[in-house]
Structure 1
Amino acid sequence: MPGSADSTDSAAASGKSGIELAREALAQAKADALKRGTLPGQGNKRKNTKLIRVREPGRGGDPKQFGTAIRELLASRGWEQRAAVGGVFGNWAGIVGPDLAEHTRPDHFEDGVLTIAADSTTWATQLRLLSSTLVRRLNEELGHGTVRRVKVVGPSTGPRRTGAWRVR
């Protein structure tokens, strides 16, 4: 490496150690950066630039309580109904009772139809019998007309086999 041999020869000729040469190079770099108006390690940022804060429309004033801020956010984005339905999913046992909640679960809500999955056909039948009461109870929680219908699905089983084991 010819470049490294030249630099060691010039360092030996000047009588300065590697640390002293590094300090001089750093001091020179700082001086050059100061002339350009920047500081080392700052990239191309100028020393005299000011930060300009741009306020978003509708922001400002006093801080709000968390609950109020969340309600306003949900209303502005149109998420009120989805959040309420999510609350029903989270509080299913409190709405239908622990016995029914142990064997059923809300599965899907779309266009006013709440789909509920039951773990047996017996519980699915029980839930179908209670569907009008359940719609009324859910609308008390969510607001009138939110749930129009309850669709109950039982456990999914595969196709039945034909053959010797079939009862005729």
Structure 2
Amino acid sequence: MEPDDPTPADTPGNDTPVRGSDLARQALEQARERNAARRREAGRTPLVRRGGGPAARRRRRWSGPGPDSRDPQPLGATLRTWVDRAGVGADLTRAQIFGRWPQLVGPEVADHCAPVSLTDGELLVQAESTAWATQIRMLAPQLLVRINGELGANSVRRIRARGPAAPSWRFGTRHVPGRGPRDTYG
């Protein structure tokens, strides 16, 4: 063997233990491979190397062949993102429910009840009689499917029906506790 040729025992691929700078190179290469695999799984762009130092690990500035957040977006997707970030989605849903109530629930149901409020996904419906309030409670699952089918999933999570309110005998800001004039009802 010539003196310049490494002996088989000195090469890193043999049965001899790897040490020193060869061990460091192998660990670095394995770390780079794991990092590249994680970036591919996450759908992120690969790192581009330009020389040494901290600026060497910069991302590319062009979009590439696949879809990217920097690509032009459809107007509907942009508006949906804006509505979600601005927090006006509940107001838009409420306006659509109140404005399109007869189309959402049907004319017969709309003749006998009306939406009152939409708070945290709970729709409060005022019925004209206790019988219609009971009917709305029984129809609630079907109404939820119809409303969420028209306005989007989870626009309304629960429907609560309320019957007509009893007359109030309170007049003014002062009130005396007790049965009062209601004792004639029972």
TM-score, normalization: structure 2? 0.46
- 1:72-108, CA deviations, whole angstroms, 9 ceiling, x for partnerless residues? 7534522133202211110000011111111111101
In the TM superposition, residue 158 of structure 1 has moved relative to its aligned partner by 3.0
Matched, 1:98 2:107: yes
The residue type paired with residue 125 of structure 2 is I
Name stretches of at least 5 consecutive residues in structure 1 with no aligned partner.
1-64
Alpha-carbon separation, structure 2, partners of 1:150 and 1:140: 15
Within a 5 Å distance, the mapping from 1:140-159 to structure 2 comes to 140-158=149-167
User: How many residues matched?
Assistant: 101
Greater relative contact order (Cα 8 A, min sep 6): structure 1 or 2? 1
Q: Could you say what the CA RMSD is over the residues aligned between the two structures, in angstroms?
A: 2.7
Matched, 1:162 2:161: no
SS at the partner of 2:155?
coil
Alpha-carbon separation, structure 2, partners of 1:130 and 1:118: 13
Contact 1:85/1:109 (CA < 8 Å) preserved in 2?
yes
Alpha-carbon separation, structure 1, partners of 2:85 and 2:104: 28
Aligned residues with identical type, % of pairs: 36
Within a 5 Å distance, the mapping from 1:24-63 to structure 2 comes to none
Alpha-carbon separation, structure 2, partners of 1:161 and 1:68: 57
The residue type paired with residue 157 of structure 2 is R
Alpha-carbon separation, structure 1, partners of 2:145 and 2:156: 8
Q: Residue 137 of structure 2: which of 123, 128, 150 is its match?
A: 128
Q: Residue 117 of structure 1: which of 123, 126, 129 is its match?
A: 126
Alpha-carbon separation, structure 1, partners of 2:83 and 2:153: 19
In the TM superposition, residue 135 of structure 1 has moved relative to its aligned partner by 1.2
Matched, 1:83 2:104: no
The residue type paired with residue 165 of structure 2 is S
SS at the partner of 1:109?
strand
- 1:109-130, CA deviations, whole angstroms, 9 ceiling, x for partnerless residues? 1111110011111111111110
SS at the partner of 2:83?
helix
Contact 1:118/1:152 (CA < 8 Å) preserved in 2?
yes
Name stretches of at least 5 consecutive residues in structure 2 with no aligned partner.
1-74, 169-180
